Amino acid sequence: MNDYFRKTDQHSRIVIEGARIVDKVMKVTDHDIEEAVLEGADTLEKVQARTKVGAGDPSCLPEVEQLIRFYKENTFNSLTNIRIGYEITNNIGNALFVIFASFVNS
């Protein structure tokens, strides 16, 4: 819903639940940035294209870059662990095909 409000320039109608606002003018949250990264936006430019972060408050861009790095590292490490867990389980011959993930906090 927030994405619709953002795309139709209805910024005052955006509801922010449990998220931290990164761009106060465009009301872009850390959750919006995380969602953009999960959907494949892996650079500042791609995140800006999806969220318009920084258009209203360019001073937030260093924090946005830091969040992008954080979400990329955590997301891709988690996906790698899921894949490795699947391959190990599958190679053992376990009929249940158990998929597990170990989340590494760095």
Annotated domain spans of the chain: 2-76
Quote the pTM value. Answer: 0.58
d(CA 84, CA 46): 29
What Cα–Cα distance (Å) separates residue 85 from each residue in 36, 66, 77, 95, 100? 26, 29, 12, 14, 6
* pLDDT at site 103: 40
Find out whether 52 and 89 touch, Cβ atoms under 8 Å: no
33 residue type, one letter: I
Q: How confident is the model at residue 101 (pLDDT cuts 50, 70, 90)?
A: very low
Q: What is the mean pLDDT of the chain?
A: 75
> What CATH number is given for 2-76 in this structure?
1.10.10.1100
* pLDDT at site 93: 47
103 residue type, one letter: F
* pLDDT at site 19: 81
Residue 52: both structure tokens together: 């318009």
Please tell me which of 10-24, 51-65, 90-104 the model is most confident about, judged by mean pLDDT: 51-65
